[in-house]
Every structure is written in C-alpha cells, then in structure tokens.
Amino acid sequence: MEEDRTLLMRNIHIPRTCEKCGKANPEYKGVGEYKCSECGYIMYDDFGIVRNYLEVHKGATQSEVSKATGVPMETIRQFLRDERLEIVAGSGVFMSCEICRAPIRSGRYCPNCAKAVEERKKAEHASSHKSTMQGFGQANKGASGAKRFTR
C-alpha cells in the first residue's frame, strides 16, 4: 500500500487529519484520494487535487492548473514526469515530447521517441554496463537514482 505513494512523498501536501472532524490519519484510497474512517469525508493530496482539476478543466496548461489549485508547477511537472498524471482524454496540448516536441499526455517522450530512448538505453546498458552511463538522466544518479527504479 505504501509503495504507491513513495514517489509522491517528496514535498507534496497530504491530508494528515480529517478536515471535517479532525480525526487523524485518513485512509488512503488511491489516486490521491483519502477517506476519513470516522465521518467518511473525502480529501485529496496535491496529486488528487490536480487530477480532479484536470478532469473538469480539460486542456488546462500547467500554469493554469498551478494557479487554480495552488500546487507548485514543479510538483505538477514531477507528477507528469513520473507518469502518475495521465492527462484525461480530450485534453489539449499539455506536455510536449522532449525530443520531437509532439504533444503527449504524460511522461517525457512521445511513444515513438520513448521507444527509441528505451532501445538506446538498453543498448548502452548492454555495452557499457559499469563504465559511463552519461546522457540518460536518472541512470547516472548512483544509488539514490537506482532505488527509484521500481519498475
């Protein structure tokens, strides 16, 4: 149950007590949603808030979402990068592929580039396993980076 949240624990707001009755430790229900075990009140963390906002405001840009929800841009971008925030169907251009600039709904690359990156990563991994792994971001961050590869 906890592993689903670890990526989010960095610096986002998570409800610790019920906003209605004050009971501690609301139960995590998934996708950023929490429920008070006492009164059943539903609350959201930053992820849930952003997600809810996007469901209603399809096509909102990152800055619009940030302004409306109070969730920092950096946090929103972090969700997108971690592919936790799949932009709801029908939304406008929200992200663009870091390589070819094609509009994408989550992550960092479009499916084509993601595939290419994946293949290059594999090739690099095979050829130079323990020497240099420069060029592909997280792959080079050593122990702390390695730990974040949960998949």
List contacts with Zn ion (CB under 5 A).
18, 20-21, 23, 36, 38-39, 41, 97, 99-100, 102, 110, 113
Contacts of 45 (CB under 8 A, 6+ apart): 8, 12, 13, 14, 15, 32, 34
Question: H/E element holding 56?
Answer: helix 46-56
Q: How far is the CB of 10 from Zn ion (least distance, A)?
A: 26
Nearer to Zn ion, 55 or 118 (CB): 118
What's the CA gap between 27 and 62, in Å, rounded? 29
Q: How far is the CB of 109 from Zn ion (least distance, A)?
A: 5
Question: Which of 24, 20, 79 has its CA nearest to residue 51?
Answer: 79
Nearer to Zn ion, 115 or 141 (CB): 115
Q: How far is the CB of 104 from Zn ion (least distance, A)?
A: 7
CA neighbours within 13 Å on the CB side: how many for 29? 14
Nearer to Zn ion, 50 or 110 (CB): 110
Q: How far is the CB of 50 from Zn ion (least distance, A)?
A: 23
Nearer to Zn ion, 31 or 97 (CB): 97
Position of tokens 């479009």?
110
Is the Cα torsion angle 41, 44, 45, 46 positive or negative in sign?
negative
Nearer to Zn ion, 32 or 107 (CB): 107
Q: How far is the CB of 119 from Zn ion (least distance, A)?
A: 14
